[in-house]
Amino acid sequence: MKSPLTLTAIFMGLCCLLSSHSYAAETANTMTEPTQKMTKAIEKKSTDMQRVNINNANVEELQALKGIGQAKAKAIVDYRTKNGKFTDLQQLTMVTGIGDKLVSQNTENMSF
């Protein structure tokens, strides 16, 4: 009598184990997909970023650059309005709050 009962218990245990394993694998896959999609979107955005023309860009467009918030973007526009167009990227360091490090971080994403 113990043999059929033991086999039934083992069978039920295996069913539970396999069921929970496949559920965990399915959950892991559904959680991984959105992460992969987001990573691809971020990579595409960073590689597809168009250059920002610092002589024509408005405050919002300048904020697309790394480390440039609203205040620095406004300072760039104000400097440009007062002093004329930039002739090279190094002139940006003349703007209050803009240093060599910020210019070097954005060199590939800026034009004039």
Better-predicted residue by pLDDT, 73 or 50? 73
User: How far, in whole angstroms, is CA 23 from its chain's centroid?
Assistant: 31
pLDDT reported for residue 19: 66
pTM of the model: 0.57
Task: Say if residue 20's pLDDT is above 70.
Answer: no
Task: Say if residue 105's pLDDT is above 60.
Answer: yes
Lowest mean pLDDT among 21-35, 47-61, 63-77, 92-106: 21-35
Percent of the chain at pLDDT > 70 equals 66
52-111, which class in CATH?
A: mainly alpha
- Rounded CA-CA distance 3/89 in Å is 84
Instruction: Give per-residue pLDDT as tens, 74-99.
Output: 999 999 999 999 999 899 999 999 99
pLDDT reported for residue 50: 81
Question: How many helices (DSSP H) and strands (DSSP E) are in the chain?
Answer: 4, 2
The answer to whether the CB of 85 falls within 8 A of the CB of 55 is yes
Task: Say if residue 18's pLDDT is above 70.
Answer: no
Q: Going by C-beta distance under 8 Å and a sequence separation of 6 or more, which residues neighbour residue 37?
A: none
- Rounded CA-CA distance 1/37 in Å is 55
Where are the strands (E) in 9-58, listed by range? 52-53
Task: Say if residue 70's pLDDT is above 60.
Answer: yes
Q: Which two tokens stand for residue 37?
A: 């999609």
Q: Going by C-beta distance under 8 Å and a sequence separation of 6 or more, which residues neighbour residue 52?
A: 61, 62, 64, 65, 109, 110, 111
pLDDT reported for residue 80: 96
